[in-house]
């Protein structure tokens, strides 16, 4: 159970990093982004990298997985604190840095790009809609996971409540993001003249 929990946690983090990479392709490499067998390659990375990390931990010592005592409670996870920090917080820190950079680049591009500047002026009317889209994008990239860094020390309980609340809404925000994106594509006011959206 501990091994499966570790594997799926790492797979979740890996897929969020891949979503950041996918966002980069969609925004910055708009043309000529065809990659042969893209889904297969992404799947190998998304499911394979966590499997390699878990395999390395098991090959070193299979007793790293089991029940460990945390704050007078037993938890089925990684028993060695060093291995836990390196194999969970290490990949998460890399994911967080990468996806924060992708999020910042996306927001900067949408604000500074001349094509989007006039749309951004219109977007000020729809601040609530754009705020929801940005929050959905943040959860899509896993930026809400930053609250786990504050789960140490006296602020642990509020940080864990915020972490659990934000991440339990991740699917809902992703749903809102795609609904609002689809609505923008179908909105007749955004299309002018003979231009077509792809």
Average pLDDT score over the chain: 77
Give residue-wise pLDDT tens across range 23-82.
788 777 766 677 888 889 999 999 999 999 999 999 998 888 988 776 566 778 888 888
Range(s) of the domain holding residue 174:
113-190
Residue 22 lies in a domain: yes
Residue 131's pLDDT is 65
Residue 102 lies in a domain: no
Work out how many domains the chain is built from and give that number.
2
Would the pLDDT of 128 be above 80? Answer: no
Domain boundary among 40, 60, 93: 93
Residue 103 lies in a domain: no
- Are 13 and 142 contacting, i.e. CB atoms less than 8 angstroms apart? yes
Q: Phi-psi bin for 80: left (phi > 0), alpha (psi -120 to 50), beta?
A: beta
Residue 124 lies in a domain: yes
153 and 79 within one domain = no
Residue 118 lies in a domain: yes
Residue 76 lies in a domain: yes
Neighbours of 177 (CB within 10 A): 19
Beta bridge partners, 73, equal 70
The pTM (predicted TM-score) of the whole model is: 0.72
């Amino acid at each position: 159970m501990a091994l499966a929990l570790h594997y799926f946690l790492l797979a979740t983090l890996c897929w969020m990093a891949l979503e950041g990479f996918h966002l980069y392709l969609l925004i910055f490499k708009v043309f000529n982004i065809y990659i042969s067998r893209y889904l297969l390659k992404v799947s190998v990375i998304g499911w394979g990298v966590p499997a390699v990390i878990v395999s390395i931990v098991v090959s070193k010592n299979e007793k790293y997985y089991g029940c460990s005592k945390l704050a007078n409670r037993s938890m089925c996870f990684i028993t060695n604190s060093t291995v836990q920090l390196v194999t969970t917080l290490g990949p998460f820190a890399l994911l967080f840095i990468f996806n924060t950079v992708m999020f910042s680049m996306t927001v900067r591009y949408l604000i500074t790009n001349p094509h989007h500047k006039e749309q951004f002026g219109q977007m000020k009317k729809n601040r609530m809609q754009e705020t929801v889209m940005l929050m959905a994008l943040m959860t899509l990239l896993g930026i809400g996971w930053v609250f786990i860094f504050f789960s140490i020390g006296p602020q642990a309980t509020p940080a864990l409540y915020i972490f659990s609340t934000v991440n339990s809404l991740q699917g809902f925000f992703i749903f809102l993001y795609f609904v609002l994106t689809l609505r923008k594509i179908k909105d007749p006011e955004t299309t002018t003249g003979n231009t077509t959206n792809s």
